[in-house]
Chain A
Amino acid sequence: DAGVIQSPRHEVTEMGQEVTLRCKPISGHNSLFWYRQTMMRGLELLIYFNNNVPIDDSGMPEDRFSAKMPNASFSTLKIQPSEPRDSAVYFCASRPDGGSNQPQHFGDGTRLSIL
């Protein structure tokens, strides 16, 4: 079991640039979640998908943020244009269906720094 795979692990870019974060969920997991972690705000849910369909994007901070899940094995989180306050660690997690009591499995995150 490869676990949830995120890329890149680290990203440093200048403000105004487009940033794309990638996630491969665990095979067979039907739900996928994008989180952001900062010292000030802790872990916040940005958006989650079920069967590739966005279900709740109320955590997406601004229109600069967008997420897609074109198929069951791949999702992207895009920031365009990026700003220094977007600097954070972004986590992807996946979870199998089968009731409400399955744990989420997290990737190792992408550490994003916007200069």
Chain B
Amino acid sequence: KQEVTQIPAALSVPEGENLVLNCSFTDSAIYNLQWFRQDPGKGLTSLLLIQSSQREQTSGRLNASLDKSSGRSTLYIAASQPGDSATYLCAVRNAGNMLTFGGGTRLMVKP
């Protein structure tokens, strides 16, 4: 059974810092890995999707990497802003269309 772990569970940084969120998974036979953002009282917004054959994806200040063999992914946020404050979730897709989610990292960027 796939298990997804995110470290740290919570993170507080001053504005402007570069930061890294970590995600690990136990079963490397994945189709893809997604990073989502969740704001309080809202649903999930897909940020980046990395296919199993890819090593990284970039969107603006966000960069996600994938090392399938070691079961790890990182989400790098450059020059963090208060508007980046949210919970970030990673999810992996194995066979059968199902996503398995990590517990999330709650990020606070202080002005």
Binding site for B on A (CB under 8 A): 4, 31, 33, 42-45, 48, 50, 55-56, 91, 93, 100-101, 103-109, 111
B: contact size bracket: 20 to 34
Would A31 and B97 count as touching, CB distance under 8 A?
A: yes
Asked if B46 and A107 sit within 8 Å, CB to CB, the answer is: no
Quick one: closest A residue to B4, CB to CB? A42
In Å, the complex CA distance between A31 and B93 comes to: 14
Q: Is B51 an interface residue (CB 8 A)?
A: yes
19 pairs across A/B with beta carbons < 8 Å? A31-B97, A42-B103, A42-B104, A43-B101, A45-B99, A48-B98, A50-B97, A93-B44, A100-B31, A101-B31, A101-B51, A104-B44, A104-B46, A105-B46, A106-B44, A106-B45, A108-B41, A108-B42, A109-B42
Closest to B39 in A: A108
Query: In the complex, which residue of chain A has the Cβ closest to the Cβ of B42?
Result: A108
B23 within 8 A of A: no
Which chain B residues border A44 with CB–CB below 8 Å? 101
B83 contacts chain A at the CB level, 8 A cutoff = no
